[in-house]
Amino acid sequence: MKLTLKIWRQNGPSANGSFESHTLDGVSEDSSFLEMLDQLNEQLLGEGKEPVAFDHDCREGICGTCSLTINGHAHGPEDSTTTCQLHMRKFRDGETVTIEPFRANAFPIVRDLIVDRSAFDRIVQSGGFISVRTGSAPDGNAIPISKVDADNAMDAAACIGCGACVASCKNASAMLFTSAKAAHLNLLPQGQAEKDERAINMVKTMDEAGFGNCRNYGECSAACPKDISLDYIAKLNRDHAKAKLKKIFS
């Protein structure tokens, strides 16, 4: 395959970025999107140019490190797929592919296609934990949990924190991520002790980080490589309202 790649280049956080076009020949249809970028970087190095900086780690679709907005879609046009699991056979020979970083004020660009997603870490730090007693390890299965709750919590915990929800949202809202992280613990008995504080604090940290407001488009869930449901956003809305009301009347 021969491709024209239109790639966002930016030297640093405060530098002005712009698009740069490169032609890449001999791309295998069986290569992944990231392998295609590796091939481009080999070519750039051969020409004595600076390679394109992009995030990647496991390349198995489970770590949430890879990002990229490809032709306007976070993680590319395929559903339920991370960029590392996107294959070049999904593109046409001769196609122009536009590659941009995840764009959001709360995700400042570090370099080229790499963005700083540490705002997500701050949201998790503010409520994505439970308190347990230290000492001897508790017995496995000591706390009975219904199958429905366990499955539901597991679906929320499937979030890999890649940030595609923010990048695909026209308002850069982090509600899908925050609600999945909150619901995962709020659904389980172990998470009940801090449930109200969790809902309030995680939303507060999310707001402070400069994410936008959810407008119920559903783009986040459509772009999510793990198909996190909008249901969790409704649940966080509900948990947050209940927590606030309890605070007012307590």
Place of tokens 């998470």: 191
CB of 56 or CB of 240, closer to other proteins: 240
Q: In the bound complex, what is the minimum distance in angstroms from residue 67's beta carbon to other proteins?
A: 13
Q: In the bound complex, what is the minimum distance in angstroms from residue 20's beta carbon to other proteins?
A: 12
21 Cβ neighbours under 8 A, 6+ residues apart:
4, 5, 6, 7
Q: In the bound complex, what is the minimum distance in angstroms from residue 165's beta carbon to other proteins?
A: 12
Site residues (vs other proteins, CB under 8 A): 6, 8, 19, 69, 71-73, 77, 79, 98, 100, 103-106, 168-173, 203-204, 206-207, 210-219, 221-223, 229-231, 233-241, 244-245, 248
Q: In the bound complex, what is the minimum distance in angstroms from residue 134's beta carbon to other proteins?
A: 34
234 Cβ neighbours under 8 A, 6+ residues apart:
none
CB of 2 or CB of 242, closer to other proteins: 242
CB of 59 or CB of 244, closer to other proteins: 244
CB of 42 or CB of 208, closer to other proteins: 208
- Alpha carbons within 13 angstroms on the beta-carbon side of residue 9 total 10
Contact yes or no for 128/202 (Cβ under 8 A):
yes
Indicate if the alpha-carbon torsion angle 99, 105, 107, 109 is positive or negative: positive
**What's 50's DSSP letter?**
P
